[in-house]
Structure 1
Amino acid sequence: MSVLAIDAGTTGVTAVVVERDGRVVATGHQELARHSPASGWVEHAPEQLWQATLGAVRAVLGRVDRATLEAVGVTGRRGTILLWDRETLGSPRPAIGWQDRRTAQVCDRLRAAGHEDRLAELTGLGLDPSCSGTKLAWIAEHEPHTWALVESGRYAVGTVDSYLVTRMTRGTYHVTDVSNACRTLLLDLGSGDWSDELCSLFGVPRDALPDLVPSWGEVTTTDRRSFLDLSLPIAGLAGDQQAALFGQACFDEGDARCGYAPGAAVLTTVGTTLPRARGGLLPTAGWRSPDGELTYALEGALPGCGMTPEAIASEVRDLLAAIPPPTALRVDGAAAADDLRCQLLADRVGVPVERPTVLETAPLGAAFLAGLGAGVWSSTDQLRHAWRLDRRFEPAGRAD
């Protein structure tokens, strides 16, 4: 039994196949071009995203027995937004990437109008161009003919995962989960549902948005004609940071992970009660179970640009100072392969740092979610056993 997972990142799409024991037995990757037609703009061609996805999946299918695949999970960058025609599935414009800064003026106007405090109250977020609600407001303002077809219902709006699910199902399903939706500035974090108030503020028709489904559990099945002759349950959806948290088996309150590549993204699981912002950590949705229970997390990010490893480790320590110290901090990402960085982090934070055998934990988390949804794993306890430790770094140089 194995699970296919797709991770649509900024520069490429990665597909992995994960066995029931947690081993990644096949990996495929396809590059994805980024376009910058103006200063601060970052765009992707939606059709290239889809073709890169097919290419990455095709690469892993050549290395495994497809008959062993039980489900597919999808993760991707949370702040990237796409539009597509519900009938043809073609896109009228490029996707706007999460790094795009064109909406800085939209944010400034909303801030000047006094909306930021209310937005923070409802979403846990401040006004930032990385959030896709501001991108949709920009499209409505600058591309009225395109936006008219969003308002008429012809064009759908969605995050990366929702676009890929649409393509995988031949346009039948338009869905996402709370961990992706919570970065749009359109989700009420307390209720875990789209907010009519926020949709009105940004001018986004609620009917244009995806339906919200649990983060695991069978949503639908892929269409063979569209998806490389595969008919698999789509059973796991998550934004990349939350997928990484899940892939690190950080299921319990106080569990924490630090993505390290080369900046830092810190997330800690806080349970089912909506938390307040603490220090530099902001509340976010972690995942929602099939029974409707919403697990929250606290999230903080450090860009890393121009920062030394020592400075990053100190900033991570300061972020974690706002919460009870975790029993261990799990690390992932490319820079976590560096023993010295991991040891430095353990020394600065003052708790053991645990590095898994699989450093790219976002696709692993998508696989864990899908496998949990399809019955490959029956519980998070089984997933804890599937998570594999590579090395534990003790503070003050006492590494095992």
Structure 2
Amino acid sequence: MPEPVVVAVDQGTTGTTVCVLDRDARVVGRAHADVAASYPRPGWVEQDPERLWRGVVDTVAAALAAGGRRATDIGAVGITNQRETTVLWDRRTGEPVHPAIVWQDRRTAAACEKLAAAGHGPAVAERTGLVLDPYFSGTKIAWILDADPELRRRAGRGELAFGTVDSWLVWRLTGGRRHVTDVTNASRTMLLDLATATWSAPMAELLDVPAELLAEVRPSSEVYAETDPAAFLGVAVPVAAAVGDQQAALFAQACVEAGQAKNTYGTGSFVLLNTGPTPPPPSREGALLRTVAFQLAGEPAHYALEGAVLATGAAVQWLRDGLGVIGSAAETAGLAASLDGNDGVYFVPALAGLGAPHWDARARGTLVGLTRGTGRAHLARAVLESIAYRTRDIAVAMSATGTPVTELRADGGAAANPWLMQFQADILGVPVDVPDNLETTALGSGYLAGLATGFFPDRAALAALRRTATRYEPRMPTAERDRLYADWLRALDRSRGWSRD
């Protein structure tokens, strides 16, 4: 009889990846499917919740087949997901009542500015750990309800449910039996009281979100229910983990103790620093987010400081699809390396505004320093450099809290770019450590599901499985590092000028 396996689902912004893990946490089957988005207006980003759900089921089936496994071999399912993306559905039919509003969507910028102008920013930061920004779910929920008064009436009657993507998937996997969300995803809604890890009635009132919409908040690693065979490949197996994608990567990178940090380079980039079992104090002017890192069943939650860069891989995609400058992301390393320097060309990737530590929703992407001699290589290098500069912006803010980043553990697609990783180490002045498996978001959900079901023995055993593939040591002289970063800050100021005009 085949050994059981854990199915780790990573439902991301641009694709769904499923990894099948054996008891040694080795990936024995894998599949990936792209995820489409629509852009109905400038600044709006939407997805079809039904396509997200069907894509997960189909990709699980493909991953099992790739590993020569069957659905009956599944010992547990773990989910990690794009976090702030907002789904509302009918509790009776399970049908979505509106397209999912993706975390990148900026349509509620004016609502956030109105709340900030009314003086609510400090209270929001103190209670939730977040800033007033359209990135988060709360104002997205309110927008959907305000756009259709009948939906607001139905929400108040308890007929509708809200969830981030984890909650939506658990609902569908369990045939609608469980409406739950894990504490890490809940902490991204602007509706959770960070200190108590429970929904905040004052925040729900402030954002005009009916409490009847909200799911039960549970630990990241716990058996929530079994799958409904009619919905999921004909089997009833434990759904045993849900965790936001960035927190999943933190866990898989073995950043499970206070002071350890990672950066996931995906559509955006996200630097998380584990701060331990006590919520960290607010950072200066809300520069960094405070969020839940993970929670195991029966244990207190761990917390983290987070800095979010809203467009990094998306900027490389723009070079490829928007401008046609490159044919593939892999070309950027060679193009960047073909130059001895950047020749004063800087790109600010504010394609969806600026995230941490600036939080300027009206900033715009900016390219400066162009001359007649500027070519493809300069553009590719400027985009890669911008990813590293934005990471340093966040590291500087973390150092200001009294917890400097002394090593950065890197994962995600761009961590495979050797030129970028070396430049990242150079511009930070600290080592960058890249693991042998870059799909840490999927691994994190699988690890947490395996812990909940006894498939994996304990957290220490999983941490020992992390192996370094490449370690990049800084080699740039300090004076050059500081000169480049000073020029970057001047370019950054140009991008923010749009919001002041």
Band of TM-score, shorter chain = over 0.9
Structure 2 residue aligned with 1:313: 388
Q: Which has the higher strand share?
A: 1
Higher-Rg structure is 2
Structure 1, residues 74-121: CA drift from partner, whole Å, max 9, x if none? 111111111111121111221111111111121122112211111011
Kindly report the root-mean-square deviation, in angstroms, between the aligned alpha carbons of the 2 structures. Answer: 1.8
By how many angstroms is 1:326 displaced? 4.6
Structure 1 residue aligned with 2:419: 340
Choose 315-324 or 12-21, whichever is displaced more.
315-324
Amino acid across the alignment from 1:84: W
Structure 1, residues 147-172: CA drift from partner, whole Å, max 9, x if none? 21111111111110000000000000
Task: Name the SS of the counterpart of 1:341 in structure 2.
Answer: helix
Verify: 1:135 aligned to 2:144, yes or no: no
Residue-pair matches, total: 397
Verify: 1:370 aligned to 2:449, yes or no: yes
Aligned pair partner of 1:199 in 184, 198, 204: 204
By how many angstroms is 1:14 displaced? 1.6
CA distance in 2 between counterparts of 1:395 and 1:318 reads 17
Verify: 1:52 aligned to 2:127, yes or no: no
Structure 2 residue aligned with 1:240: 245
CA distance in 2 between counterparts of 1:99 and 1:193 reads 25
Verify: 1:282 aligned to 2:282, yes or no: no
Choose 372-381 or 63-72, whichever is displaced more.
63-72
Structure 1, residues 247-296: CA drift from partner, whole Å, max 9, x if none? 11110111110112475321110101111244643211111221140100
The answer (yes or no) to whether the contact 1:276–1:282 under 8 Å persists in 2 is no
The answer (yes or no) to whether the contact 2:30–2:64 under 8 Å persists in 1 is no
CA distance in 2 between counterparts of 1:74 and 1:11 reads 16
Choose 385-394 or 332-341, whichever is displaced more.
385-394
The answer (yes or no) to whether the contact 1:22–1:387 under 8 Å persists in 2 is no
Structure 2 residue aligned with 1:168: 173
Verify: 1:210 aligned to 2:215, yes or no: yes
Identical-residue share of aligned pairs (%)? 45
Higher RCO (C-alpha 8 Å, min separation 6): 1
Structure 1 residue aligned with 2:155: 150
Amino acid across the alignment from 2:224: V
Aligned pair partner of 2:124 in 119, 123, 145: 119
Residues 273, 111 of structure 1: alpha-carbon distance in 2 compared, 3 angstrom cutoff:
same
Structure 2 residue aligned with 1:85: 90
CA distance in 1 between counterparts of 2:152 and 2:31 reads 36
Aligned pair partner of 2:408 in 329, 341, 344: 329
CA distance in 2 between counterparts of 1:13 and 1:312 reads 23
Structure 1 residue aligned with 2:30: 27
Structure 1, residues 276-319: CA drift from partner, whole Å, max 9, x if none? 24464321111122114010001002334435334433443343
The answer (yes or no) to whether the contact 1:73–1:234 under 8 Å persists in 2 is yes
Aligned pair partner of 1:75 in 80, 83, 87: 80
The answer (yes or no) to whether the contact 2:272–2:307 under 8 Å persists in 1 is yes
Choose 130-139 or 13-22, whichever is displaced more.
13-22
Normalization by structure 2: what TM-score? 0.76
The answer (yes or no) to whether the contact 2:175–2:228 under 8 Å persists in 1 is yes
Structure 1 residue aligned with 2:489: none
Residues 339, 15 of structure 1: alpha-carbon distance in 2 compared, 3 angstrom cutoff:
same
CA distance in 2 between counterparts of 1:347 and 1:245 reads 23
Where does the alignment leave 5 or more consecutive residues of structure 2 unmatched? 316-346, 349-381, 477-501
CA distance in 1 between counterparts of 2:432 and 2:413 reads 15
Choose 308-317 or 369-378, whichever is displaced more.
308-317
Amino acid across the alignment from 1:317: R
Verify: 1:106 aligned to 2:111, yes or no: yes
Structure 1 residue aligned with 2:232: 227
Task: Name the SS of the counterpart of 1:372 in structure 2.
Answer: helix
Structure 1, residues 16-35: CA drift from partner, whole Å, max 9, x if none? 11222232222112222212
Residues 51, 372 of structure 1: alpha-carbon distance in 2 compared, 3 angstrom cutoff:
same
CA distance in 1 between counterparts of 2:10 and 2:204 reads 28
CA distance in 1 between counterparts of 2:393 and 2:56 reads 38
Structure 2 residue aligned with 1:298: 305
Amino acid across the alignment from 2:303: Y
Structure 2 residue aligned with 1:383: 462
Amino acid across the alignment from 1:14: T
Structure 1, residues 223-258: CA drift from partner, whole Å, max 9, x if none? 111101132211111111111111111101111101
Residues 11, 382 of structure 1: alpha-carbon distance in 2 compared, 3 angstrom cutoff:
same
The answer (yes or no) to whether the contact 1:262–1:334 under 8 Å persists in 2 is no
Task: Name the SS of the counterpart of 1:342 in structure 2.
Answer: helix
CA distance in 2 between counterparts of 1:177 and 1:124 reads 17
Structure 2 residue aligned with 1:352: 431
The answer (yes or no) to whether the contact 1:252–1:270 under 8 Å persists in 2 is yes
Residues 265, 49 of structure 1: alpha-carbon distance in 2 compared, 3 angstrom cutoff:
same
By how many angstroms is 1:327 displaced? 5.1
Task: Name the SS of the counterpart of 1:313 in structure 2.
Answer: helix
The answer (yes or no) to whether the contact 1:277–1:298 under 8 Å persists in 2 is no
